[in-house]
Structure 1
Amino acid sequence: MASQQNVVQASAKVISQSWLIILAFAAIYFIWGSTFLAALIGLQGFPPFMLAGLRFLLAGGLLLTGCLLSGERLPALREVAKNSISGILMLSGGTGSIIWAEQYISSGLAAILIATEPFWFIVLDRKAWRQYFSNKWIVMGLCLGMAGFLVLFLWPKQGESLFAHQISITAIIVVLVGAVSWVIGSLYSKYRTTTHSLWMNSSLQLIIAGVFCLLVSSITENWQGFAWDKVATGAWMALFYMSVMGSIVAYTAYIWLLTVRPPAVVGTHTYVNPVVAVVLGWLFAHEPVLLPQIISLLLILAGVLLVNIPTYQKSS
């Protein structure tokens, strides 16, 4: 009888974890993919860097509160400095640039451009160049990703639709610079490790990035013409969604999945996020989905797949 109870309990535990894994993958696939649309909605009520700053401060404050309540102590000044550099590069530069650019380009196009991040990791991680460029799959993936990127610029009569204004080209460049900034910050964090928990480091990075974005906002954006009581309900909801669901729930799900599933499998969100962003932008923001965007997305995602083949082979 006892053995039957143990079997039932073990089965229930497996089923419970299976559901948690499904929900966690749903979070990193769809929540992260939907934050591009949420940013677009948030921009209807907030200036871009104010929106980014409030998002980071809210998420970082909640995470830091959780760390302190669990008994974790604040790190030394040197650790704070490392997290400051990572947070400003990754969040202010990476995510902040996306929010700013979505004033001028579609959320789907921004997501397609951000999908190139795996290629920037290869190009900028100089310490691993010998490993990367000696692998045929990675080299082929880089070439395919570059082809996908060039489609956006070289497609015949592209300028009549996608690049109707000079500011659109500027916004695309800003997103790409932001992607590079995210990768540099990630590599800095990788090679300049800190001693505190991932949660404490993340909370500090978010808070510092939030303060930095608000500082940029105070200098470059017109706060005198801003009225809190005039912010639409949808913009507030988008802000809280990005903060709680995007920066806390999905991120927590991502970290947990890394402990129960191979990193290569968890990393499949790279393929799903831009597709979700493009579809949601088309459905809810009535953003046009142009043929060159579809071709570019397919080529970039195929390139990312090739780049990750060595990782998949190791994890199998």
Structure 2
Amino acid sequence: MNFDELRQGSMAPEFETGEVALCGGDAAKLKSFCRKRMEPRRIKSASSRKSRSDVKKEIELMEGAVLLRHGAVSIIGRRREMEDAVAAELDFVERGGRSYSFFGVYDGHGGWLVARDCSERLHKLLAEIVEADAGEEIAWERVMAAGFRKMDEEVNKSGASVASTGSTAVVAVVGEEEVVVANCGDSRAVLSRGGVAVQISDDHKPDRPDELERIEGCGGRVINWNGVRVWGVLATSRSIGDKYLKPYVITDPEVKVLSRTKLDEFLILGSDGLWDVISNEMACRVVRSCLEGRIRRSSGPDYTRAMEAAAVLVELAMARGSCDNISVVVVDLTRN
């Protein structure tokens, strides 16, 4: 596949040198870019920056393991502040001899605090709930609902400083036999199965018929103010946090449990900075080409194809004019 063909029709100019390194350089350049851009917030004090060794460990975690190859990239893009965050926790919980890994994308609004807290805490809360349940089978719908609710309670205890902030959350738990996706907000999960792009999660937009009916049913209003928004403020109808907009904006995730099949290729989690400018089908085409080695932007033993796929999607979203923070997680589901 010719990568330049995908960029046709772009509203964006060519990248500056520092941003080309995301997908156009070697592994060392990619890590240099990530050291600058992968933090969930912008840190002004040089003394408070993470050490090089700490960041290297985080990058290595994002690059994945042998049994479940994955990659994640999160950049500020053209926004003034970084409000996205990502999470990748291999083997975060075990049950009955089976291990499960966790991946998440969080798109904050009003600030970075809630997204950062979710990336650090949500998978831990889910693990605690699973471990407290003595049953042989994990009831993922109940676990996800309880975990999102506890996460919401935690961030809302922070008081007035975060009462007007929140975050979307799309998370995936990948086991040997199943893939569990929980979504709250307008980030999205897409699965490639047998060459077909399957959208697993449904975006929670205020004008989605069932969401609109729910909001108006509890006394709220959806107003078109620079886009369709709850009370003219928030462009998503579900989120973690946003205490001042409850009960109109809720935290309940929509959960889907899919049995893994031999046709499953990969899973993409992304914030709306990706999906606003790239279709599900195009995203899957790009990732498939990267995983098959038909798009090669870098090489090296520490540079996985899943990482490359996530980086190429981010670069493509920038080239197509995305003006938001962009976060992408790619999980290779092919059996080793």
TM-score with structure 1 setting the length: 0.28
Higher RCO (CA 8 Å, separation ≥ 6 residues) = 1
Which structure would you say has the larger Rg? 1
Greater per-residue strand proportion? 2
